[in-house]
């Protein structure tokens, strides 16, 4: 089976100013996004992540290189029917209610009228937006906007979901909710491409990651493989006394191993926050 996304030697130049000075946003990029996985596309601002996604979606034309999407040439309507996309900092027509918005997007995505009602309700439920679905989009918080954006992206049950910075500006509770939605989609066998610079979240939900810098791919692989340091180990010990520590150090030395540091393990601030704050006010 072909990859969900296949990018081969993609280059994208922008011409800026009256003199048409060339600005290279993506430079000879090649990558394959396998099906059924959560794929993280990482990199600092301006590294070419969003431009790559826009080329993939046919919103921007490539200067050179090839892109295929679910086995079809990029940007073909057939391919786009099988994709869901949540852009960065999404903005929707404020006068529509959440339900109307998802319904509108469902119609544009080709959902047939007989399936419309159930598809909309399913997407709203997946995004935990059922209770707020009748409020105008203009009254939504940032987290709710991201969640209704997620609902509109998945309402037509796409094979591939592309999320551009889905948690930007969202509080940890909302961020965790979006993480849960991503995992739920993966469990259904969907492919998810997550473009973000929030490394913690990517680490938590992604199966594979690619890191871009200045338009180039600098690292790509499975998350465990790229993060693991095979020459270092972590032991977690309870009730460690100075005597026990000295004995352990001596035992390790006798096997040729060296204890390099002893520290207290820390939980992440996000874990602490989630422990203290039971739920988002948006829900």
Partner 1 sequence: MNASFRRIDWIARITFLEAVRQRFFAFLLVLGVAMVLSSVSFRVFDFGHGELKFIADFGFGGMFFFGSVLAVVMTAQLFFSEIDNKTALTLLAKPLSRWEFLFGKFAGAWAMLGVFVFVLAGLLGLVLWSRETELLALAEQTGRIPATFSLSGLAWYALLQWLRLGVVIAVVLSISALARTFLFAVVVGSLAVVAGQLQWIAQDAVLKPTDSPLYEAFLWLTTRLLPNLQQFNLGDALVLGSAGVPAGATGEVVLSGLLYVAAYLALGAVVFRRREI
Instruction: Indicate the residue among 151 and 211 with the shorter CB distance to partner 1.
Output: 151
Alpha carbon distance 28, 46 (integer Å): 16
Instruction: Indicate the residue among 155 and 173 with the shorter CB distance to partner 1.
Output: 155
Taking CB under 8 A as the binding criterion, the range among 36-44, 51-59, 64-72, 167-175 that sits at the site for partner 1 is 51-59
Give the residue, chosen from 3, 11, 104, 213, that forms a contact with partner 1 under the rule CB under 8 A.
104
- DSSP, residue by residue, the chain: ---SEEEEEEEEEEEETTTTEEEEEEEEEEEEE-TTSEEEEE--TTSSHHHHHHHHTTSS--SEEEEEETTEETT-HHHHTTEEEE-SS----TTSBHHHHHHHHHHHTT--HHHHHHHHHHHHHHTT-STTTTSBGGG--HHHHHHHHHHHHHTT--SEEEEESTTTT--HHHHHHHHHHHHHHHHTT-EEEEEES-HHHHHHH-SEEEEEETTEEEEEEEHHHHH--TT------SS--HHHHHHHHHHHHHTT------------HHHHHHHH--S-TT-
Alpha carbon distance 233, 227 (integer Å): 13
Instruction: Indicate the residue among 61 and 253 with the shorter CB distance to partner 1.
Output: 61
Query: Site mask, partner 1, residues 169-198, x = CB under 8 A?
Result: ------------------------------
Taking CB under 8 A as the binding criterion, the range among 37-45, 106-114, 184-192, 218-226 that sits at the site for partner 1 is 106-114
Say whether residue 59 binds partner 1 (CB under 8 A): yes
Taking CB under 8 A as the binding criterion, the range among 26-34, 102-110, 232-240, 275-283 that sits at the site for partner 1 is 102-110
Taking CB under 8 A as the binding criterion, the range among 37-45, 50-58, 64-72, 264-272 that sits at the site for partner 1 is 50-58
The answer to whether the CB of 12 falls within 8 A of the CB of 55 is yes
CB of 167 to partner 1, least distance (A): 17
* Total number of residues that touch partner 1 (CB under 8 A): 30
CB of 67 to partner 1, least distance (A): 14
Instruction: Indicate the residue among 89 and 259 with the shorter CB distance to partner 1.
Output: 89
Say whether residue 95 binds partner 1 (CB under 8 A): yes
Query: Site mask, partner 1, residues 142-171, x = CB under 8 A?
Result: -------x--x---------x---------
Taking CB under 8 A as the binding criterion, the range among 64-72, 100-108, 119-127, 234-242 that sits at the site for partner 1 is 100-108
Give the residue, chosen from 96, 116, 168, 248, that forms a contact with partner 1 under the rule CB under 8 A.
96
Say whether residue 139 binds partner 1 (CB under 8 A): no
Q: At what angle do helices 142-154 and 172-187 cross, to 10 degrees?
A: 10
The answer to whether the CB of 252 falls within 8 A of the CB of 237 is no
The answer to whether the CB of 183 falls within 8 A of the CB of 152 is no
Positions in the binding site for partner 1 (CB under 8 A) = 54, 57-61, 77-78, 80-81, 83, 85-87, 89-93, 95-96, 104-105, 107-110, 149, 152, 162
């Amino acid at each position: 089976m072909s990859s969900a996304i296949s990018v081969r030697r993609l280059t994208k130049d922008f011409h800026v100013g009256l003199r048409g000075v060339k600005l290279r946003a993506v430079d000879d990029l090649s990558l394959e996004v396998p099906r059924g996985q959560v794929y993280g596309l990482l990199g600092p601002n301006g590294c070419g992540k969003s431009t790559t996604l826009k080329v993939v979606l046919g919103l921007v034309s490539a200067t050179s290189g090839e892109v295929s999407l679910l086995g079809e040439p990029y940007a073909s309507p057939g391919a786009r029917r099988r994709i869901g996309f949540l852009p960065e900092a999404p903005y929707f027509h404020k006068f529509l209610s959440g339900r109307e918005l998802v319904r509108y997007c469902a119609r544009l995505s080709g959902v047939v009228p007989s399936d419309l009602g159930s598809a909309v309700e399913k997407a709203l439920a997946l995004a935990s937006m059922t209770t707020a679905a009748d409020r105008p989009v203009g009254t939504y918080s940032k987290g709710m906007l991201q969640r209704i954006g997620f609902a509109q992206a998945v309402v037509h049950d796409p094979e591939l979901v592309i999320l551009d910075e889905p948690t930007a500006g969202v509080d940890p509770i909302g961020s965790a909710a979006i993480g849960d939605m991503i995992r739920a989609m993966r469990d259904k066998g969907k492919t998810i491409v997550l473009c973000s610079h929030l490394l913690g979240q990517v680490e938590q939900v992604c199966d594979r990651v690619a890191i871009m810098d200045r338009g180039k791919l600098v690292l790509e692989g499975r998350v465990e493989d790229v993060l693991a340091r095979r020459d270092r180990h972590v032991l977690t010990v309870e009730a460690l006394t100075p005597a026990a520590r000295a004995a352990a150090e001596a035992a390790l030395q006798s096997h040729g191993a060296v204890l390099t540091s002893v520290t207290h393990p820390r939980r992440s601030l996000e874990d602490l926050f989630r422990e203290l704050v039971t739920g988002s006010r948006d829900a």
